[in-house]
Amino acid sequence: MNLSSVQLHQLIKAKIMQAGLSDEHADTVADVLVFADERGVHSHGAVRVEYYSERISKGGINSAPQFSYEETGPCSAVFDGDNGAGHVVAKQSMEKAIEMAQAKGVAVVGVKRMSHSGALGYFTKLAAERGLVAISMCQSDPMVVPFGGSEVYYGTNPIAFSAPGPEGKTINFDMATTVQAWGKILDARSRNQTIPDTWAVDEAGNPTSDPHAVRALLPIAGPKGYGLMMMVDILSGVMLGLPFGRSVSSMYEDLSEGRNLGQLHIVLNPEFFTTRDYFIESIAQTMKELGEIRPAPGFNKVLYPGQNSDLIEAKSKENGIEIVDDVYEYLISEHTFINSYDHKSAFNG
């Protein structure tokens, strides 16, 4: 089904409100999910709505959270999300980080007790659109075998980075520390597609192309991805006094309980380190020079990080967003949720 961004936003918001979230919070959740679908990141878009709705309905996402914010140093703070919708918690805490970086040059805001927040690039892009550089990272539940291991320990532990460029353009980089995010496998399941056998392994530890047979994900670039996911777990978990490693709560184990996840925003104001003109001109030159590099066989052009997603977003706004039929049928149904996720394993959910 092909939908405009406005239509998709309305359907998602209505379903999230039906589950129990307020108009304001449901609007933010819909914003983040439509952002992902517009940019072709369907793993973090409408395919997630039923899961969020089930968790909200069962109390595992607090529909009336009491947020708190405490500055703990000249450029540091902690935002407590009271297990509210992760998209809302991540956005409001990023707004605090943006305000601090604008005034002080640097902001490090730890975010604790939150639920899944979706595409991290949405939040770092907010900072870049205001002339700031941002990094965000968060923990996720154990789904990945550490390099050299045969049992899961860390999560996909994603990292996002955004920086401002000329004429409103931004550089955006959003990645899981696994070869692919778990949401990509969920998307493949919903589309009845196979996956590359380099993404994950089955119960026996063998590579698999069947998304339904996945029982563990693989770290990107072996020991390098393993090191990065450990870094994310320490900075967004251990440093905030939260559960870490295999103790991080499961996405599906008990949807009536809050997940108590952690996230970390680091925001920098380039004007505290160089002039704004030099920074923007240098990013503009970087974009131009990358685009002029002779492409490798099979490629038409070298794109800067985020440029392909920008192109996809522009086409989506013009031509609409393709949503798989099962997801669309759920969005227009009378059901708040269909009990698809509670007390399932991460890989069977």
- Residue 244's alpha-carbon distances to 118, 139, 175, 250, 335, in angstroms, are 19, 8, 20, 12, 35
Q: What dihedral angle (degrees, nearest 10) is formed by the CA atoms of 69, 264, 93, 337? A: -110
Helix (H), strand (E) counts: the chain? 10, 11
The distance in angstroms from the start CA to the end CA of the chain is 24
Catalytic residue, from 42, 44, 87, 116: name it. 116
* Residues 6+ away with beta carbon under 8 Å from 51: 251, 340, 341, 349
What is the Cβ-side half-sphere exposure of residue 216, based on CA atoms within 13 angstroms?
20
Question: For residue 2, what are the β-bridge partners?
Answer: 322
* CB proximity list for 91: less than 8 A, separation 6 or greater: 28, 32, 122, 123, 126
- Supply the DSSP string of 289-307, one letter for each residue: HHHHSPPPTT-S----TTH
Closest-CA residue to 149 (of 225, 213, 248): 225
Q: Compute φ and ψ for 341, nearest 5 degrees.
A: -120, -30
Place of tokens 């089955």: 202
CA distance 209 to 292: 36
- Alpha-carbon span 154 to 28, nearest angstrom: 28
Q: For residue 43, give the DSSP letter.
A: G
Produce one character per residue of 165-183: b if its CB has 16 or more CB atoms within 10 Å, e if not.
Answer: beeebbbbbbbbbbbbbbb
Give CA separation, 176 vs 157, 229, 231, 263, 332, in Å.
6, 9, 13, 14, 31
Does residue 9 carry a catalytic annotation? Answer: no
Catalytic positions: 116
